[in-house]
Chain A
Amino acid sequence: MYYEYFTVGTILFILGVIGIVLNRSNLIIMLMSIELMLLAISFLFLINSVVIDNLIGQVFTIIILTVAAAETSIGLAILVAYYRIRGTIAVKSLNLLRG
């Protein structure tokens, strides 16, 4: 039973990673992928907290939820500010700072 949950969490995390790496069009999708990764992490924390019967995982989850909310709000604020200046939120056009 644990392994199924663990696999689902890991797959969710990998989907989030793939969403960031392969995504070239939209900044919102990137944010959503980050949310998905955070969600997967939270899920894994919860599962492990239940399995090892320890409360600290759930404490971490609540903290992560808070951080994720704050992060999303700041991310969206940056996105809006960026959209006002550039008029587009395509990830491809985010390449002004080349090495």
Chain B
Amino acid sequence: MYLLVLFIPLLSAIVSGLFGRKIGERGAGVFTSSSIVISWVISMLIFYETNINTSPTYIKLWRWFDSELLITYFGLQFDALTGIMLVVVTSVSALVHIYSTGYMSGDPHIPRFMSYLSLFTFFMIVLVTSDNYVQLFIGWEGVGLCSYLLINFWLTRIQANKAAIKAMLVNRVGDIGLVLGMFAIFKEFGSLEFSTIFSAVNEVSHPNSIALICILLLIGAVGKSAQLGLHTWLPDAMEGPTPVSALIHAATMVTAGVFLIIRSGPLFESSSLALTVTTIVGALTALFGATVGLVQNDLKKVIAYSTCSQLGYMVMVCGVSNYSTSLFHLMNHAFFKALLFLSAGSVIHALADEQDMRKMGGLIRTIPFTYVMILIGSLSLMGFPYLTGFYSKDLILELVYDKYYIAFAYWLGAFSALLTAFYSIRLIYLTFISNTNSKKEVLMNIHESSWNITLPLLLLALGSIFVGYMAREVVVGTILPPIIPSSIKLIPVVLSLLGATLAFLSYNTLSGFKVFLPKIRPQTVVNLFNPAIYTFLNSAWQFNYVINHFLVVKVWKFGHLISYRVIDRGLLEIIGPRGISNLIIGVSQKISNLQSGLVFNYALIMLMFTTLFISGSGASEFASQQWAYIMFS
């Protein structure tokens, strides 16, 4: 059972990838979906074993590296954290598989797509089940690779190619951090297995080395989980098909970074510096994602930035040592974010692949089912009471409040909650409620999608409503909500509701005040906000521009001028092949010019060298005699 949960997605990927031509498009869809559903059933059993029965399982498979100092086993570890992650990954992945059979119908490369999705799931399961950092790194790189393949699925589009390369490269930056962190761990502990490391964490002589390890691991998590600084790949990853976005942003890829922090929790506990940095990074990311999400006009990008923001919450609460709360939010977020993405896919599907929210509107009458789904997802995201998001998000904000350090994380988080509510309602209003802006021929053809698109939505909606309440005891049962004033306890909900009301009012009642819409017609539309602020937020705080201008272009020019032209084609060529060959050619030309073809020159040269030879032999004899005289006298 424990090996099957790994093996079945791999089998599904191999069969669909290598024999997709044999089993056909429908066959590939049915086979991969049913494989992942079986994997989900198994992971539910594992969840029952590990979390309900609290009996972790450790399996050592075989010895992998064996080099005296470093012995790494290929081993599996199924504890409470792995059990929860497995359920999250396989359930969302199974629903995404089923959804993809409907959403991608008509695409000529369905077997390849399903194969990539299954491979992604496989690598994610490898990541969460490993019992050492090396094996975790297989999964870590594997999901990066699969994200490349999936973002680049429509490989004829240049934007998709660029986005995929960007995702790969920005992730590599973080991966370097993880690798360096692994080196530092090996240097400090002499092992890379979790059990060894975490039992020896108090034995470390030098406190700074733990801080270094944690910061490096945090850099890894920043790259994978799209925290501030290395987040720029995440919005661009929207170039992939919508189910891919749901898989990457909801359940799998971005959660890997948070998972790494949660897994390395004992290490982080030993370094207050690393915890502080973690909280600051998380809080800033939460604020950043929320502010940028306010003004995006692309339906998927709004949800992408909201993912960024929610990941900020998760990292932030890791920084105040509440890892299980972070895991709880990760789990809940997987459900409602998958629901949001898949609903957005349903909207896009219905509107003939239109992603711009400014060209939507009025869909509440034509596709009410999707409206209800996206409303549930958004309310859950806003932390509306008694929905899934409420249980984790409010808990996070309460836990962050009044920590003895960095009090500002709470206010950033609370303000982000207001903004989250605002852009969620903005999304719903512009897409469903406001008057339509789409073309008539598009509007005439809008209809709800087939069952294999709506069924996953329904299941995810149920998850978004009930998971938070049901899983609360299992995941964060041991954490008591802190005792803080009721007024503070109410703040996040009040702020969320305030944000939602503000958004609705500003788009509905004050229809003249098109807040956070660009000035389409300056005469009629009054924009409450300065266009400069709007542009600043719309371009995501100009991160792309700054990074490109000050980093990428500089490195690029350095690579061309210094590495390529000065060193590679310059110095190395001159003292290397070209210089030496030029020297030899010139010298041999000069020497061969001595052979002029004229007889008297030959005679002269012969004479000269005969003379030199005779006198030289005489001189050397003389010198050797002198030498012997000096030596032996």
Chain A positions within 8 Å of B, measured between CB atoms, are: 17, 20-24, 30, 91-92, 94-99
Nearest B-chain residue to A95, judged by Cβ = B597
Q: How far is the CA of A96 from the CA of B596 in the complex (A)?
A: 9
B594 engages A21 (CB within 8 Å): no
**Residue from B592, B593, B595, B598 in contact with A94 in the complex, judged by beta carbons closer than 8 Å:** B598
Taking the complex as formed, is B628 at the interface, i.e. its CB lies under 8 A from any CB of chain A? no
Nearest B-chain residue to A33, judged by Cβ = B603
A98 engages B600 (CB within 8 Å): no
Nearest A-chain residue to B592, judged by Cβ = A99
**Residue from A17, A22, A91 in contact with B598 in the complex, judged by beta carbons closer than 8 Å:** A91
Q: Mark B573-617, 1 if CB is under 8 A from A, else 0.
A: 000000000000000000011111111100110010000000000
B596 engages A30 (CB within 8 Å): no
Contact sample, A vs B, 9 pairs, CB 8 Å cutoff:
A17-B607, A24-B598, A95-B597, A97-B597, A98-B596, A98-B597, A99-B592, A99-B596, A99-B597
A96 engages B603 (CB within 8 Å): no
Give 16 new A-B contacts, CB below 8 A, not counting A17-B607, A21-B603, A98-B597. Answer: A20-B599, A20-B603, A21-B600, A21-B607, A23-B600, A24-B600, A91-B600, A92-B598, A94-B598, A94-B599, A95-B597, A96-B597, A97-B597, A98-B596, A99-B595, A99-B596
Contacts of B592 in A (CB 8 A): 99
Q: How far is the CA of A21 from the CA of B602 in the complex (A)?
A: 9
Nearest B-chain residue to A17, judged by Cβ = B607
Nearest B-chain residue to A91, judged by Cβ = B599
Contacts of A97 in B (CB 8 A): 597
Interface footprint category on B = 10 to 19
B598 engages A95 (CB within 8 Å): yes
Going nearest first, the 4 A-B pairs with the smallest beta carbon separation are A99-B595, A95-B597, A98-B597, A99-B592
Nearest A-chain residue to B604, judged by Cβ = A21
B598 to chain A, nearest CB (A): 5
Contacts of B594 in A (CB 8 A): 99
Q: How far is the CA of A30 from the CA of B602 in the complex (A)?
A: 13
B432 to chain A, nearest CB (A): 91
Number of A-B contacts (CB under 8 A): 35
Contacts of A91 in B (CB 8 A): 598-600
B596 engages A95 (CB within 8 Å): yes
Contacts of A98 in B (CB 8 A): 595-597
B93 to chain A, nearest CB (A): 78
Nearest B-chain residue to A97, judged by Cβ = B597
Chain B positions within 8 Å of A, measured between CB atoms, are: 592-600, 603-604, 607
B499 to chain A, nearest CB (A): 91
A20 engages B600 (CB within 8 Å): yes
Nearest A-chain residue to B593, judged by Cβ = A99
Q: How far is the CA of A21 from the CA of B598 in the complex (A)?
A: 10
Q: How far is the CA of A94 from the CA of B597 in the complex (A)?
A: 7
Contacts of B595 in A (CB 8 A): 98-99
Q: How far is the CA of A7 from the CA of B598 in the complex (A)?
A: 31
Q: How far is the CA of A92 from the CA of B607 in the complex (A)?
A: 19
A77 to chain B, nearest CB (A): 17
B594 to chain A, nearest CB (A): 7
Q: How far is the CA of A30 from the CA of B599 in the complex (A)?
A: 10
A14 to chain B, nearest CB (A): 10
Nearest A-chain residue to B603, judged by Cβ = A20
Nearest B-chain residue to A27, judged by Cβ = B599
A66 to chain B, nearest CB (A): 24
A88 to chain B, nearest CB (A): 14
A33 to chain B, nearest CB (A): 10
Contacts of B593 in A (CB 8 A): 99
A25 to chain B, nearest CB (A): 10
B614 to chain A, nearest CB (A): 14
Contacts of A30 in B (CB 8 A): 599
Q: How far is the CA of A92 from the CA of B601 in the complex (A)?
A: 10
Contacts of A94 in B (CB 8 A): 597-599
Q: How far is the CA of A55 from the CA of B566 in the complex (A)?
A: 76
Nearest A-chain residue to B598, judged by Cβ = A95
Among A91, A96, A99, the one with the most B-chain Cβ atoms within 10 Å of its Cβ is A99
A26 to chain B, nearest CB (A): 11
B604 to chain A, nearest CB (A): 5
Among A20, A22, A96, the one with the most B-chain Cβ atoms within 10 Å of its Cβ is A20
Contacts of B604 in A (CB 8 A): 21
Q: How far is the CA of A20 from the CA of B595 in the complex (A)?
A: 17
Q: How far is the CA of A95 from the CA of B601 in the complex (A)?
A: 10
Contacts of A99 in B (CB 8 A): 592-597
Q: How far is the CA of A94 from the CA of B598 in the complex (A)?
A: 6
A38 to chain B, nearest CB (A): 15
A71 to chain B, nearest CB (A): 16
